[in-house]
């Protein structure tokens, strides 16, 4: 049934209604989108930074990162790495000028199986933020939800007071291990779960409430749903702690005028009679391995983020050394 023009004017958009029940986070490195939709927090990743860094509007940030890398000196690889870290922080710092909450900055996916490497890189990113006057309370460090990543998050939270956002989360085992590690946030990738079931099953379309990605939220912990494919998935998770949403879907939600009803709440979660589960490393690896979808999507996600990190480094290398190498 269509909504009359008069009622449509009075009814808040789906986006504004969602903000009453859920913390809306912008999944983008585009400042204009952040200005337009006014989220509380924002998330970035290598793919988003790569896309933004190629836009004419953001070349000053790229130039500043290149200058920083060269200033520190060292080998070509060291200069490129320093420039890359600086670029992530420069984007994060600019985003924080536009939001009241926190920005998520991701550790290189190629460190996904290196616990100490992730801890070192996370502390480096926090130090870079400190250099530009931003405290760690406004930063979430994104780590892959491998066993090593989860243990790195545990150390960063407990020993250094660095808040972590565990990304590329697809399985119940990952969620339990993250909760036990005491990390601040987990980011189940709703849309990618749906992608896998569509690609590998007979059913090709799902109602929002039956969407496999939405149903993955059956566990009750602090979650930030991510990687959505449509607004139906988002609306079906109204009431979730955080939802990080792309500018395209934020735009669609801002134009929709349908009544949203919370489907998740703290009260209902507390009323659930759930047995607490403990997973050591052996149990984690076994239970995660039993979930074919999660195994495939975690490895695929790491490869894709790593590939975009390499593309970003190549872009910076060309800017830093292309002329010197006669290219």
Catalytic residues: 142
∠ Cα 164 266 260 (to 5°): 100
Strands 23-27 and 103-106, how do they pair?
A: unpaired
Partners of 141 in the β-ladder: 105, 164
Cα gap 249→130, rounded to integer Å: 33
Structure tokens at 106: 């991701």
Beta-carbon contacts of residue 170 (< 8 Å; ≥ 6 apart)? 145, 188, 189, 192, 193, 216, 291, 293, 294, 297, 298
Q: What's the rounded Cα separation, in Å, for the pair 184 and 144? A: 14
Contact 105, 89 (CB under 8 A): yes
Rounded CA-CA distance 50/312 in Å is: 6
């Amino acid at each position: 049934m269509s909504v009359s023009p008069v009622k449509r004017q009075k009814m808040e958009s789906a986006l504004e209604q969602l903000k009453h029940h859920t913390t809306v986070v912008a999944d983008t490195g585009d400042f204009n989108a952040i200005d337009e939709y006014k989220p509380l927090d924002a998330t970035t990743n290598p793919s988003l930074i790569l896309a933004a860094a190629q836009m004419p509007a953001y070349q000053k940030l790229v130039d500043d990162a290149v200058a920083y890398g060269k200033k520190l000196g060292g080998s070509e690889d060291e200069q490129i790495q320093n420039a890359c870290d600086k670029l992530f922080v420069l984007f994060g710092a600019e985003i924080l000028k536009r939001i009241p909450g926190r920005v998520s900055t991701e550790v290189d996916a190629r460190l996904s199986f290196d616990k100490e490497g992730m801890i070192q890189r996370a502390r480096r990113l926090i130090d870079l933020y400190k250099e530009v006057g931003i405290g760690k309370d406004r930063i979430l460090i994104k780590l892959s939800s491998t066993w090593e990543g989860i243990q790195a998050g545990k150390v960063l939270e407990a020993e250094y007071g660095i808040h972590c956002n565990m990304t590329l989360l697809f399985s119940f085992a990952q969620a339990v291990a993250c909760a036990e590690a005491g990390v601040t946030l987990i980011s189940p990738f709703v849309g990618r779960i749906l992608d896998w079931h569509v690609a590998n099953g007979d059913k090709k379309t799902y109602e929002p409430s039956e969407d496999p990605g939405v149903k993955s939220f059956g566990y009750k912990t602090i979650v930030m749903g991510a990687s959505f494919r449509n607004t139906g998935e988002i609306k079906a998770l109204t009431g979730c702690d955080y939802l990080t949403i792309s500018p395209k879907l934020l735009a669609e939600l801002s134009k929709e005028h349908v009544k949203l009803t919370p489907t998740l709440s703290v009260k209902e979660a507390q009323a659930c009679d759930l047995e607490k589960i403990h997973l050591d490393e052996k149990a984690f690896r076994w239970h995660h391995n039993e979930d074919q979808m999660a195994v495939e999507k975690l490895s695929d996600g790491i490869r894709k983020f790593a590939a975009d990190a390499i593309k970003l480094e190549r872009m910076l290398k060309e800017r830093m050394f292309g002329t010197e190498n006669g290219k």
